[in-house]
Structure 1
Amino acid sequence: MVTACGAQEDDGETAKQVTMNEQQATDRAEQIIHQAVDTMSPKPTLERTGPATIGPCIARDDHGPDDRLQVTLFYKLTGVPGSEAKNLVLQARDAWLKQGYKYNSSDEEDMSGPFPWVSMRTEPDDFWMEGITGVVDRAKGEGLATLKVISPCFLPPGKATTADPAAFETPQTDDPATRRALGHSSRIYDALGVGSAPTQPGEGLSTVREEFGTSVHHTWSTEPLPEDERVRALARVQEYFQSAGWKVRHMPTLEGTPAVVAGHPEERTVVQVAASTTGAVRVAVTTPVNGPSSSADV
């Protein structure tokens, strides 16, 4: 969901390691919330809601260990008339812009409508936040403003660090594992049935050497999609995995739509497909270099 530990930038350098702990991540997320709310008029009441604050890093865009965590804060802005929801979201956007934070995505038509939504991120620490206007009464233009902040992925204290940067290599395109990873990505692309986005930092092909073996990773994203299209795309890819004999399970996500995690019964290839905070669907294919040759090598 965010570019964090161990991701590769376009120039081949590894991204900055995230070294915060849970309390630091929570404190920073709270600070971002209050930067948006403290100067609002009328003054809302913050009502925390949603899942537990600390959770696993879902739909990772990099190659960090599985035990990394993320902090997520959800707040409803209550105690004000429903007609003020739009105004509160726009005030949050303006307050974050004054802090120097950047748009992650925005839609001018949506922002000018009765129920605006905005997605932004901080620099350089890469927290992502959303201001959302939920519909309460569409005819009257009444809504409920919600703010959400998501931290970068980080390792809890006492855990091993990510692989040494020297472990990340660019794989050979004629390598069987690389062909296998790209073949699976191609079939997943066909199953999703939506367009792909330009390669982002932290995406693409890489080979990672770790103590438990060497793997080829291929990560990529679709173009941003409306929520209903994301749900249908994830349903199509789940149907593909099941029809092809993959073992499929679901993981809860902050976006509400569960991520699809699929394991190939013979290759030990694992695929994660999940909705992102950007509105895109992110795909991560991991296959062992010493996996079996199969019909997937195309």
Structure 2
Amino acid sequence: MKPRGGSLGIALMATVMAVAVTACGTPHDGKADGGATPKQVKMDEQQAIKRAEEIIHQAVDGMSPKPTLKHLGRDAVGPCLARDDHGPDGRVQVRVAYQLTDVPGQAAKTLVRQARDAWVKQGHTFQSSDEDWSKPFPAVYMRTESDDFWMDAITGAVDREKGDGLASVSVTSPCFQPGNSGESSDIGKSGASSSAAHMHQAASDRAQTAERRVLDHSSRIYDALQAPHAPLREGEGEGLRAVDDADGPSLHHTWSTAPLDEGETVRTMRRAQEHFESAGWRVRHLKTGAGAPALIALNAEDHSVAQVAPSATGHIRVAVTTPADEAGQSEAVTGIEPA
């Protein structure tokens, strides 16, 4: 995605998610060779979250300008994604991520560099060579030597011409057995606990897949509209949130463009229609009080539904909903027919 004149936070969130998956795919609690015996990590969920928050605050507490931490993502505890270290199944790991808000966009690069300096001062090591700081939007990847937590500080582009960005920091723990209360778990002691762990992993995997899917759809719509976005209005329900209704759990992402004049609105809505049709979405129109009709589109492949609607204020409002559980996909949306 190439933001034009602003960012929805989508690019940043997608980057954070991709970094977490990449980091977790590397062995956290064992050596890379196949003959090594994985190290037994002695921690529980509370200890892992506490340590992750400590590493976050090592980076941000001394920052200037002082940012506000805005939590990113869903539950901190999720399935262990390191499957190449010959460790036991059923393990989990913690990931804590924050966006650094309430600071000027031009400060994002400075905040990322300050996070790096703070972590270096703590004795943490780089996972790759230090960033090229001549880049406008740098990223830093590091780990703790003592207990093998991984962390990153990332800049996502808001306005490439002005160099404005959004900064985030995240920390991912090594993998550990859930409920071990700080001691090595006796794997196989309880078939019920193993089954529960697998169910937890499956549910978490589905939620992560749905989150990636809804943000990807939203990003592609944003690219297609070619219109600047308005500031996110969380108080009015904008942003990413989970919804659980009669049709089952789903993820919902909403945002708005900046106010457009009548001609810009017509052209933008035309681009939206062209995007949906070229991508194979089924589209119908709804009359609105703003003159131009709204578009309701169904992605028949994953049952995601998108709405692009002009408003009387000149904003175009975008909402994308995707099922969080494939088994709960509603058949009601199949009533959407081409216009």
**TM-score w.r.t. length of structure 1:** 0.52
Which of residues 119, 135, 138 in structure 2 aligns to 1:113?
135
Is the Cα–Cα contact under 8 Å of residues 89 and 117 in structure 1 kept in the other structure?
A: yes
The equivalent of 1:126 in structure 2 is 148
The equivalent of 1:3 in structure 2 is 27
Distance 1:10 1:59 in 2: 14
The equivalent of 2:52 in structure 1 is 29
Residue 114 to residue 154, structure 1, CA distance change in 2 (3 Å): same
Distance 2:94 2:206 in 1: 20
Distance 1:36 1:150 in 2: 14
In the TM superposition, 1:1-298 aligns within 5 A as 1=24, 2-5=26-29, 7-8=30-31, 12-106=35-129, 108-109=131-132, 111-157=133-179, 160-161=185-186, 252=208
Aligned amino acid, residue 127 of structure 1: F
Counterpart secondary structure, 1:105: coil
CA deviation after TM superposition for structure 1 residue 50, in Å: 1.2
Residue 54 to residue 108, structure 1, CA distance change in 2 (3 Å): closer
Aligned amino acid, residue 100 of structure 2: L
Distance 1:251 1:9 in 2: 29
Is the Cα–Cα contact under 8 Å of residues 9 and 15 in structure 1 kept in the other structure?
A: no
**Bigger radius of gyration among the two:** 2
CA deviation after TM superposition for structure 1 residue 137, in Å: 0.5
Aligned amino acid, residue 69 of structure 2: L
Distance 1:101 1:107 in 2: 13
The equivalent of 2:313 in structure 1 is none
Is the Cα–Cα contact under 8 Å of residues 32 and 85 in structure 2 kept in the other structure?
A: no
CA deviation after TM superposition for structure 1 residue 11, in Å: 10
Aligned amino acid, residue 122 of structure 1: T
Distance 1:131 1:8 in 2: 25
Residue 23 to residue 61, structure 1, CA distance change in 2 (3 Å): same
Distance 1:8 1:139 in 2: 44
Distance 2:110 2:50 in 1: 26
- Residues 217-244 of structure 1, C-alpha deviations (whole Å, 9 max, x = no match): xxxxxxxxxxxxxxxxxxxxxxxxxxxx
Aligned amino acid, residue 169 of structure 2: L
Residue 97 to residue 3, structure 1, CA distance change in 2 (3 Å): same
The equivalent of 2:251 in structure 1 is none
Is the Cα–Cα contact under 8 Å of residues 141 and 152 in structure 2 kept in the other structure?
A: yes
Aligned amino acid, residue 66 of structure 1: D
Residue 89 to residue 256, structure 1, CA distance change in 2 (3 Å): farther
The equivalent of 2:235 in structure 1 is none
CA deviation after TM superposition for structure 1 residue 62, in Å: 1.2
Is the Cα–Cα contact under 8 Å of residues 82 and 175 in structure 2 kept in the other structure?
A: no
Counterpart secondary structure, 1:63: coil
Across the two proteins, how many residue pairs are aligned to each other? 172
CA deviation after TM superposition for structure 1 residue 66, in Å: 2.2
Distance 1:256 1:106 in 2: 28
CA deviation after TM superposition for structure 1 residue 98, in Å: 0.4
Residue 84 to residue 97, structure 1, CA distance change in 2 (3 Å): same
Residue 256 to residue 64, structure 1, CA distance change in 2 (3 Å): farther
- Whose helix proportion is higher, 1 or 2? 2
Is the Cα–Cα contact under 8 Å of residues 131 and 139 in structure 2 kept in the other structure?
A: no
Is the Cα–Cα contact under 8 Å of residues 64 and 162 in structure 1 kept in the other structure?
A: no
Is the Cα–Cα contact under 8 Å of residues 131 and 138 in structure 2 kept in the other structure?
A: no
Distance 1:67 1:140 in 2: 46
Unaligned runs of at least 5 residues, structure 1: 164-210, 212-248, 258-298
Distance 1:69 1:146 in 2: 23
Distance 2:206 2:96 in 1: 22
- Whose strand proportion is higher, 1 or 2? 1
CA deviation after TM superposition for structure 1 residue 47, in Å: 0.6
